Chains A and B, each alone.
Chain A
């Protein structure tokens, strides 16, 4: 081997091996075979009659069906209200983060690090159960508690995203606005924030998707029946002993996808549109 000249090695190489095109073909066929084998292996590991009984149980799904519209609506309501708070608070925190005032920067940084660092579930429980005991006003509305809990957690992530957007607005845009006589605050509201929003719209959509799923955390609070959201009705159906195994969980899981998949498509569209308008 080591005594071969480079030229001999090269000609030997060509003679011994397939052409690159044929080699790619062989590799592709092997990949397909492996993939197929994996499918077959999974199929053999599953007890199919049990799947029909425990996961795709039509009767169990049908029993759950009447509860779904309200739960679906509640999930959407919690998501929309939380996101409304999240976007307002997140934008404010982002503006504080890029402010010239040191105190604002410190407050914003501490907030973001705190809420990014603790599990959302802990904070949901804290707001749901502990907060009403320590505030001197009556905090009984579930919607308000949910909005506070999920909105505040989400705003930490939105703040980080918005900060990137604010910093991506070109300096010349600000100078142009100032040169026309706009004050700093006016410039921020009229020029900087709207442009930052356009920049961060795709990642912000991802934040909505995360928030949609996080509404499942509310099921850990004591909810009243009209307040039930998707995960809660799934859990209840699961523990009711009505049979059908895990079917309710699959049904509510599909409901989440009904919300999140269109959002994902929407985000990709925005991203493509943004790429076009920038070019």
Chain B
């Protein structure tokens, strides 16, 4: 652990990803230091979700290298399951296991992957459910919960594995507006607790307030990155300016195309 303290948690170099003829990522370099919260923003289809999914190899890179927690995961002989067990992921669509209760959702991987005994797994699961404010819903089934509750369970499920990196793929995009706040509050608490996080999001307020660094990606490349105050508050690149204008002021998005 101490040896890793200075080494980056994520080190992406020259990452390319193509789906058939379509090249989605065209050479991305990105490093994330321990404890850092990086928000990735960008228009839909820009490749930001693909970039995130390359970090735990839900998508395999076409070229370039991705190093996560000191392991080169683009190596074909990598034990990807071992790396994934230390990298939590939260999806846009929650993806809770529909046939299991909330508690079982949070214990199944602990038991089957980490081989923790039942009691220990349940204790850790409950701790994390408390952490996201759902300690009393362990017996519920996912379909009995609201979207916001489901997403918080998904976060607890990932946290129960004691991850050293958390990936969030548009975690609030599928939620009703009034439920977004609960999920963002959990994520903010997590960030303040020192978790290393990579967050693909459209929530500019979250990126501005919580992120250490904001990465704007468009057309498969990183266009601009830096402190939130710079990238969101004072964007330099015309594409960043246009995107932020559209996101922050959607009703006046026309007539300012600067290309």
Neighbouring B residues of A179 by C-beta, 8 Å: 56, 58, 84, 87-89, 91, 158
Binds B, one of A15-23, A128-136, A180-188, A217-225: A180-188
Neighbouring B residues of A181 by C-beta, 8 Å: 81-86, 109, 113-114, 161
The residues in B between 66 and 121 inclusive whose CB is less than 8 angstroms from any CB of A are: 81-89, 91, 93, 95-99, 108-109, 112-114
Residue of B nearest to A198 (CB): B99
Neighbouring B residues of A176 by C-beta, 8 Å: 89, 91, 95-97, 154
In contact, A180 and B157 (Cβ under 8 angstroms)? yes
Neighbouring A residues of B83 by C-beta, 8 Å: 181
Q: A179-B89, A180-B158 are known contacts. Are A191 and B113 too (CB-CB below 8 A)?
A: no
**Once the chains are docked, how many angstroms separate the CA of A198 from the CA of B100?**
12
**Once the chains are docked, how many angstroms separate the CA of A180 from the CA of B160?**
10
In contact, B99 and A180 (Cβ under 8 angstroms)? no
Neighbouring A residues of B87 by C-beta, 8 Å: 179
In contact, B95 and A190 (Cβ under 8 angstroms)? no
Residue of A nearest to B97 (CB): A191
Residue of A nearest to B113 (CB): A181
In contact, B81 and A177 (Cβ under 8 angstroms)? no
**Once the chains are docked, how many angstroms separate the CA of A240 from the CA of B143?**
60
- A4 touches B (CB below 8 Å): no
In contact, B85 and A195 (Cβ under 8 angstroms)? no
Residue of B nearest to A175 (CB): B58
- A178 touches B (CB below 8 Å): yes
Cβ of A173 to closest chain B Cβ, rounded Å = 6
Neighbouring B residues of A190 by C-beta, 8 Å: 108, 112
**Once the chains are docked, how many angstroms separate the CA of A278 from the CA of B113?**
29
Neighbouring A residues of B95 by C-beta, 8 Å: 170, 172-173, 175-176
Neighbouring A residues of B86 by C-beta, 8 Å: 181
Question: Which bucket holds chain B's interface residue count?
Answer: 20 to 34
The majority secondary structure among interface residues of chain A is helix
In contact, A173 and B113 (Cβ under 8 angstroms)? no
**Once the chains are docked, how many angstroms separate the CA of A235 from the CA of B114?**
60
**Once the chains are docked, how many angstroms separate the CA of A195 from the CA of B88?**
23
- A277 touches B (CB below 8 Å): yes
Q: A175-B58, A191-B97 are known contacts. Are A180 and B161 too (CB-CB below 8 A)?
A: yes
Residue of B nearest to A189 (CB): B112
Most B C-beta atoms less than 10 A away, residue of A173, A180, A194, A195: A180
In contact, B96 and A180 (Cβ under 8 angstroms)? no
**Once the chains are docked, how many angstroms separate the CA of A184 from the CA of B87?**
17
**Once the chains are docked, how many angstroms separate the CA of A180 from the CA of B112?**
10
**Once the chains are docked, how many angstroms separate the CA of A177 from the CA of B95?**
9
Cβ of B198 to closest chain A Cβ, rounded Å = 13
Cβ of A199 to closest chain B Cβ, rounded Å = 10
Residue of B nearest to A176 (CB): B95
Residue of B nearest to A174 (CB): B95
Cβ of A267 to closest chain B Cβ, rounded Å = 19
In contact, A180 and B113 (Cβ under 8 angstroms)? yes
**Once the chains are docked, how many angstroms separate the CA of A177 from the CA of B99?**
13
Neighbouring A residues of B108 by C-beta, 8 Å: 180, 190
**What are 24 A-B contacts defined by CB distance under 8 Å?**
A172-B93, A172-B95, A173-B97, A173-B98, A176-B89, A176-B91, A176-B154, A178-B58, A180-B108, A180-B109, A180-B158, A180-B161, A181-B81, A181-B83, A181-B84, A181-B113, A182-B109, A182-B112, A182-B113, A190-B108, A190-B112, A198-B99, A277-B143, A278-B143
Interface residues of A (CB under 8 A from B): 170, 172-173, 175-183, 186, 190-191, 194-195, 198, 277-278
List 15 other contacts, CB 8 Å, given A176-B91, A179-B87. Answer: A176-B96, A177-B109, A179-B91, A179-B158, A180-B84, A180-B109, A180-B157, A180-B158, A180-B161, A182-B109, A186-B113, A190-B108, A191-B97, A191-B99, A277-B143
